[in-house]
Chains A and B, each alone.
Chain A
Amino acid sequence: MSLLHATWLPAIRTPSSSGQPALLVWADTWRVATPEGPGLTPALHPFTLSHNDLRAWLGERDLLPGSCIDATACLTLPSRTVKPRKTRSKTAEPAPEPPAWTGLPMQAGEPVPKQTEWWPWQVQGLAVDPAGSTDWLSRLPLSGRNSDLADELRWWSHLQRWALSLVARGRWIPQMELSKGEGYPHRARWMPLLNREEDRRRLEDLAASLPLVATCALPWREPLGRRSNRTTRLRPEAMRAANPVASCRPRSGRLRVAALLEDLVDAQLRKDFQPSGEGLDPLLTLWQDALGSETGVIEIGDEDAERLAAASHHWREGIAGDFASARTCLTLNTPPEGEELWELRFGLQAEADPSLKLPAAAAWAAGADALQLGEIRVEQPGEVLLEGMGRALSVFPAIERGLESATPETMQLTPAEAFVLVRTATRQLRDAGVGVELPSSLSGGLASRLGLAIKAELPERSSGFTLGESLDWTWDLMIGGVTLTLRELERLSGKRSPLVRHKGAWIELRPNDLKNAERFCSSKPELSLDDALRLTGTEGELLMRLPVHKFDAGPRLQSVLEQYHQQKAPDPLPAPEGFRGQLRPYQERGLGWLAFLHRFDQGACLADDMGLGKTIQLLAFLQHLKAEQELKRPVLLVAPTSVLTNWRREAEAFTPELGVREHYGPRRPSTPVELKKALKDVDLVLTSYGLLQRDSELLESQDWQGVVIDEAQAIKNPGAKQSQAARDLARASRSKSNRFRIALTGTPVENRVSELWALMDFLNPKVLGEEDFFRQRYRMPIERYGDMSSLRDLKGRVGPFILRRLKTDKTIISDLPEKVELSEWVGLSKEQKSLYSKTVEDTLDAIARAPRGQRHGQVLALLMRLKQICNHPALALSEGAVDKSFLSRSAKLQRLEEILDEVIEAGDRALLFTQFAEWGHLLKAWMQQRWKAEVPFLHGGTRKSERQAMVDRFQEDPRGPQLFLLSLKAGGVGLNLTRASHVFHIDRWWNPAVENQATDRAYRIGQTNRVMVHKFITSGSVEEKIDRMIREKSRLAEDVIGSGEDWLGSLAGDQLRDLLALEDT
């Protein structure tokens, strides 16, 4: 797979060209390459897509820039040293001198070698002019990972968004840029203004996070005087001179990023500027025309140019200074006890890290030397400090008094001046590029507003399980970190001074504070457990319009809160009586968590990673209810058809005491009365999403104790009928007592914002409000723009109801064996079933009549055919094409699709083994259609060189295929495929040793993850019976392992029928 990159090409401004900067869009891809070294000029990057391929690739993805030209650039890239392969050259021609160094450029995501070198590479790409770049960059996604787009494209899209924001806020000013030297043109430029606090901070952020690939280019220069189509024949010296083999040093910095931003803002404003020239004098006309021209070049005498430059510079200087690495910083200190005057200290502060500060004295003492602020170097610190003072003076005139001496370090402010500084001047100073540090109790934000400090605890005799119950609580008013009583507030308000001192801290009172406090006190408020959960959930929550600054919970309440907000692992609950099996420690905690939310009557979503045993945890929970005699009515479980079998099998195995019934198939009850009768003594009813929708009225007629949805992503689309039906069922009004709601899913549900609403509406409808509100408040800001504050708020709200553990979590890893075997029980589709039965009947008769010598072969052939039917009817019928109904014809394939979806979503890699090469080809074709990605298939017919390429690519390519199909015989031995963390045995081999050998392709030295081994078993079929025999280690099984499939041939007729016939399950 190719990965798209973007790198800025700086303008080449030569006397003959008015060179514009450009964005180089290029892509690299994985392929086998021979190491290269620079010759006279940098070597050609061996992994980049050619111009034509790139155009086609971009076209497919609708990413082709509106106008662009083929271009080449020299990019400095980290490279790995690779020795060239020895070539035996027996020709008479003397071999060209080998390069001093050979290697390959590294690609994003590739493991970093011990030693990295930096070399320039010639990279082909498409050059987009600045105006085109602004359009193109605006189209890129602002958030989320995209497998086609390198991370740095997100950086670019953020930079472009900033440029848009600057244009929208009008933060720019036209400038005149003087020629850089003899023969260079003067230019008219649109310059962004970065004086505002937020913009300065953003510049630092983007400079600190700059992916260097964005700025690592030098344009490829074609020596002058030659036509471009003849460059290949240029004299080597000319090429060398124009494109020396030199690397640009890795460095970042605000100046680079600011220059990029300038180019983008300039392009954005330039492209549509078509002003009228009416009434302008000649000089302004020239300037204005140049501001609207493509290149900005202005034909003007040096004298006029200098005049314009001085005037425009002076114009800009009034608002914004240059980008020094430090800024002047004013620190306000509160008056000492008993005194009136405040102290303002002068100093310097690093732009990149405002916590790095030095007092003015250090700047004065530095003289002409540079000053070191941590790692940041400040040139001419005295000048920087003074310039900032000059700016500060025009915003906050009071400091004039402090600047009468030659080297001022501090000054005093009257209370009135201090108030002006706190209230208004601080913001203006920051916008002028001067830092201001206020005492913490006055530094703005919510904490400096009047709010509450609450102490609460569960009442003595409470169990803490009813949301509405009142807590024992006390409260204080709190402001700026100190508490005060209403009386104290009255006294302080009476002082008529906005800055007052209380308990040693200075606080700012606002006009309405007293009124709000009085209203709160007179209302005698109560605090419920529900309030406590809400107030401690997300920040900035209000209680009767007052912010809650502090919430102290007593030990018992604290324990409930922590568990609720998942600040600590849930208290474990041991496996209940009657549960046949062992729970791993994290499963006990999962069970405890389900029980915890159940007591609060809150819906719960168990979203553990695949393979961690969600089924077992839910069964244990139901058994827990049963053991506690709380399971009085049946529970309805809805799951995709493909896993119904699995559920029944697991329930039989782990919770035999539960009465389980499937509501499925043509013979299912069709009236409420029948259904009620059928549900006598039944604890768990299994049904499919399809029937949930079709039988919705019937199902709603029953008094369910709870509703569980498995593979809950099935209800992600709020408008779909099955999701509507699930939500209706969750809150049926007929029942007097509440139904519990549980959802199970293996997908990272909390990251799929669009799917959260329907899920929460099923679990706990009030949490996210109406769908429209949800879309406006959360979905749009998060999905489109990656808004983190909305996402944090959303997670705070839904967090208590979702428990997701990953295989990779530290606490889980210690509980898990390194290899986890999972049996995937699947059924058969209608077509499969009839084909299977027919095949068995027809063939068994034939075998019974066949002469003894031929029976053996015939039995084996039958066995193969049955296994093929379990895979897919198309395989048994030797069909070669994948059509629309392909998926629906095989129950196994449907289940496989569901699991692979999760694997791909999680970014994991999987090996898939089959013993049928034809099945492999069909699967490959289907999977490539399904996931629109390449799926390699290694089988007996694969050439040796191709095998190695497939394996290398799977192991090495950072964006290599996630799925790898192998035939059991060809791929089962010898290969090292440790990048996979899932192994699928799609069909069964009779000999577990062979399967284990295949599994060990992934599970071997070098594997750093847990390996999940999925074994598909078609229930009722020969697959299940063989599996059972292997597991029960019967004598028969030993025969099986010992002698391959030979024993089958000698089975007597009835034994054979028992083994092969489809059992009705």
Chain B
Amino acid sequence: MTISSSNLTPLSEDGLGQQPWWVEQWMELINGYRFKKRLERAWGYAREGHVTSIRFEGRRVHARVQGTDETPYKVKLWLDVLNDEDWGYVLEALAQKARWSAQLLAGIMPADIERAFAASGKRLFPFKLQEVRSECTCPDKANPCKHISAVYFLMGDRFSEDPFVLFQLRGRNRARLLEDLAEYRRKALANLAKKTKSKKIDNPSDESAPLPPHAAVQDPALWWRYNRNLDGDLVVITPALEGDTGLDDAGELPLAEDPRFPDARNSFLGNLKAHGQASAQKAMLQAMAAGS
């Protein structure tokens, strides 16, 4: 029997649309695993809510899975961490392309990120499921056991909450990564400047210059003064166009699903949208009554 990725991915089962590519990649990884039967059982297990918690702690994933035993089993998952030298290669490669920094800064995982990692001969994503190291406190000798496999399924979803978790598992969290990246970019820039030597742009900023005093210091009347008129756009308060609210723009809430509550995110968003419409109506009524 074969299991297609479509009924393996909890989200696509709900028809909630496109997954971020890195979640899909994770699912493919699981899907490529040899022991389908065991995975199928694990998915059912996860769906029934046996995984009670998953947390990312530093470079490891800690999970608790309620098995037959009274106390939950503790599951640990981790990847091989890149050492500083490897990270050096990765960062140097990342700094070569403005796009990579740009996307990472804007919270987007670049689809071709592995190309930067290739410079170190390493990968961001594990190539095979076997690269994902794991431990479970259950008596089952097989690895991955049912409990570990159940955690696998839920992991992908958790990646969508914060794509930078992957970097964290490889040894750098988001803040550190962006900082280091900026450092490497500056280095690259300095090298470039050395090579060309011609291009020198004066930085007009002057570290020592104190901030100019606020205008109100010169003119205390500014403490009270306000003589502007209402912005023309606020004269008539209008509702959003169909499908043009912030919630519409934001789309899917990137929060991993608790398998026991498959409709939770839908209901939550539904509640928010209903509240949004009611509030918009009220706000417009309130605005119309203003100044009368």
Residues of A near any B CB (own CB < 8 A): 77-78, 106, 108-109, 112, 116, 138-143, 150-152, 154-155, 157-158, 161-162, 164-165, 167-174, 193, 198, 202, 205, 209, 211-213, 216, 249-252, 268-269, 272-273, 275-276, 278-284, 287-288, 303, 307-308, 310-312, 314-319, 321, 361-362, 364-372, 375, 377, 380, 382-383, 386-391, 393-394, 400, 403-408, 781, 783-790
A172:B267 contact, CB within 8 angstroms: no
Closest B residue to A321 using CB positions: B106
Given known pairs A370-B205, A390-B108, the reply for A269 and B99 (CB within 8 Å) is: no
A158:B227 contact, CB within 8 angstroms: no
Given known pairs A142-B290, A251-B214, A281-B260, the reply for A406 and B245 (CB within 8 Å) is: no
Report the stretch among B25-33, B39-47, B250-258 that lies at the interface. B250-258
User: In the complex, A789 Cα to B234 Cα: how many Å?
Assistant: 12
Q: Does B247 contact A (CB under 8 A)?
A: yes
User: In the complex, A171 Cα to B280 Cα: how many Å?
Assistant: 10
B237:A164 contact, CB within 8 angstroms: yes
Q: Does B231 contact A (CB under 8 A)?
A: yes
B106:A317 contact, CB within 8 angstroms: yes
Contacts of A150 in B (CB 8 A): 224
User: In the complex, A184 Cα to B134 Cα: how many Å?
Assistant: 36
Q: From residue A376, how far is it (CB to closest CB) to chain B in Å?
A: 11
Quick one: which of A318, A362, A403, A790 contacts B99, CB cutoff 8 A? Answer: A403
Q: From residue A606, how far is it (CB to closest CB) to chain B in Å?
A: 28
Given known pairs A165-B234, A406-B185, the reply for A391 and B106 (CB within 8 Å) is: yes
Contacts of A315 in B (CB 8 A): 250, 253-254
B189:A281 contact, CB within 8 angstroms: no
User: In the complex, A202 Cα to B271 Cα: how many Å?
Assistant: 30
A362:B201 contact, CB within 8 angstroms: yes
Given known pairs A372-B204, A404-B99, A781-B236, the reply for A786 and B226 (CB within 8 Å) is: no
* A-B interface, 4 closest residue pairs, ranked by CB to CB distance from nearest: A390-B106, A170-B245, A275-B271, A403-B99
Quick one: which of B106, B246, B286 contacts A387, CB cutoff 8 A? Answer: B106
User: In the complex, A158 Cα to B232 Cα: how many Å?
Assistant: 11
Q: Does B276 contact A (CB under 8 A)?
A: yes
Q: A169-B244, A213-B223 are in contact. List 4 more A-B contacts (CB 8 A).
A: A193-B249, A281-B261, A407-B189, A790-B235
Contacts of B287 in A (CB 8 A): 138, 161, 164-165, 168
User: In the complex, A161 Cα to B286 Cα: how many Å?
Assistant: 9
User: Can you offer 7 A-B residue contacts whose CB atoms are under 8 A?
Assistant: A161-B290, A173-B247, A269-B279, A272-B278, A280-B268, A284-B264, A393-B99
Contacts of B246 in A (CB 8 A): 170-173, 193, 319
B255:A785 contact, CB within 8 angstroms: no
User: In the complex, A420 Cα to B64 Cα: how many Å?
Assistant: 51
User: In the complex, A989 Cα to B18 Cα: how many Å?
Assistant: 93
A406:B203 contact, CB within 8 angstroms: no
User: In the complex, A108 Cα to B193 Cα: how many Å?
Assistant: 55
Contacts of B239 in A (CB 8 A): 168-170
Q: From residue B285, how far is it (CB to closest CB) to chain A in Å?
A: 10
Report the stretch among B90-98, B122-130, B146-154 that lies at the interface. B90-98
A403:B186 contact, CB within 8 angstroms: no
B245:A169 contact, CB within 8 angstroms: yes
Quick one: which of B99, B214, B282 contacts A249, CB cutoff 8 A? Answer: B214
Quick one: which of B221, B264, B284 contacts A279, CB cutoff 8 A? Answer: B264
Q: From residue A111, how far is it (CB to closest CB) to chain B in Å?
A: 9
Closest A residue to B203 using CB positions: A366
Given known pairs A164-B287, A249-B214, A403-B97, the reply for A317 and B245 (CB within 8 Å) is: no
Closest A residue to B274 using CB positions: A275
Contacts of A284 in B (CB 8 A): 255, 261, 264-265, 268
Contacts of B221 in A (CB 8 A): 108, 112
Q: From residue A839, how far is it (CB to closest CB) to chain B in Å?
A: 53
Closest A residue to B277 using CB positions: A170
Q: How many residues of B contact A (CB 8 A)?
A: 99
Q: Does B143 contact A (CB under 8 A)?
A: no
| Highest count of chain B CB atoms <10 Å: which of A142, A273, A281, A365 | A281
Contacts of B205 in A (CB 8 A): 366, 369-372, 377
User: In the complex, A287 Cα to B95 Cα: how many Å?
Assistant: 38
| Highest count of chain A CB atoms <10 Å: which of B163, B224, B287 | B224
Q: From residue B252, how far is it (CB to closest CB) to chain A in Å?
A: 8
B98:A407 contact, CB within 8 angstroms: yes
B271:A288 contact, CB within 8 angstroms: yes
Contacts of A783 in B (CB 8 A): 291
Q: Does B220 contact A (CB under 8 A)?
A: yes
B286:A250 contact, CB within 8 angstroms: no
A280:B267 contact, CB within 8 angstroms: yes
What 0/1 pattern do residues 177 to 212 of B give for CB contact below 8 A with A? Answer: 010001001101110110000011101111100011
Closest B residue to A392 using CB positions: B102
Closest A residue to B286 using CB positions: A138
Residues of B near any A CB (own CB < 8 A): 55, 95-99, 101-108, 161-163, 178, 182, 185-186, 188-190, 192-193, 199-201, 203-207, 211-212, 214, 216-217, 219-240, 244-251, 253-255, 257-258, 260-261, 263-268, 271-272, 274-276, 278-280, 282-284, 286-287, 289-292
Quick one: which of A142, A167, A288 contacts B230, CB cutoff 8 A? Answer: A142
B99:A389 contact, CB within 8 angstroms: yes
User: In the complex, A21 Cα to B84 Cα: how many Å?
Assistant: 46
B278:A318 contact, CB within 8 angstroms: no
Given known pairs A168-B287, A390-B108, A404-B97, the reply for A785 and B292 (CB within 8 Å) is: no
B96:A406 contact, CB within 8 angstroms: yes
User: In the complex, A953 Cα to B138 Cα: how many Å?
Assistant: 87
Contacts of A361 in B (CB 8 A): 199, 201
Contacts of A790 in B (CB 8 A): 235
User: In the complex, A251 Cα to B211 Cα: how many Å?
Assistant: 11
A406:B223 contact, CB within 8 angstroms: no
Q: From residue A449, how far is it (CB to closest CB) to chain B in Å?
A: 20
A386:B102 contact, CB within 8 angstroms: yes
Contacts of B247 in A (CB 8 A): 170, 173
Quick one: which of B192, B216, B229, B289 contacts A143, CB cutoff 8 A? Answer: B229
Contacts of A198 in B (CB 8 A): 233
A368:B182 contact, CB within 8 angstroms: yes
Contacts of A77 in B (CB 8 A): 223
Contacts of A216 in B (CB 8 A): 223
Quick one: which of B105, B200, B231, B261 contacts A386, CB cutoff 8 A? Answer: B105
A389:B102 contact, CB within 8 angstroms: yes
Closest A residue to B272 using CB positions: A174
Contacts of A165 in B (CB 8 A): 233-234, 237, 283, 287
Closest B residue to A252 using CB positions: B214
User: In the complex, A116 Cα to B272 Cα: how many Å?
Assistant: 50
User: In the complex, A766 Cα to B239 Cα: how many Å?
Assistant: 35
Contacts of B203 in A (CB 8 A): 362, 365-366, 369, 371
Q: From residue B192, how far is it (CB to closest CB) to chain A in Å?
A: 7
Contacts of B280 in A (CB 8 A): 167-170
Given known pairs A168-B280, A171-B246, A310-B161, the reply for A209 and B228 (CB within 8 Å) is: yes
Contacts of B290 in A (CB 8 A): 138-140, 142, 157, 161, 784-785
B237:A168 contact, CB within 8 angstroms: yes
B250:A173 contact, CB within 8 angstroms: yes
Quick one: which of B227, B234, B258, B272 contacts A162, CB cutoff 8 A? Answer: B234
A383:B182 contact, CB within 8 angstroms: yes
Contacts of B282 in A (CB 8 A): 167, 272
Closest A residue to B219 using CB positions: A112
Q: From residue B210, how far is it (CB to closest CB) to chain A in Å?
A: 11
Q: From residue B221, how far is it (CB to closest CB) to chain A in Å?
A: 6
Contacts of A303 in B (CB 8 A): 55
A314:B107 contact, CB within 8 angstroms: yes
A143:B161 contact, CB within 8 angstroms: no
B232:A787 contact, CB within 8 angstroms: yes
User: In the complex, A1022 Cα to B142 Cα: how many Å?
Assistant: 123
Contacts of A205 in B (CB 8 A): 228, 231
B286:A164 contact, CB within 8 angstroms: yes
User: In the complex, A275 Cα to B274 Cα: how many Å?
Assistant: 9
A269:B275 contact, CB within 8 angstroms: yes
Q: From residue A753, how far is it (CB to closest CB) to chain B in Å?
A: 13
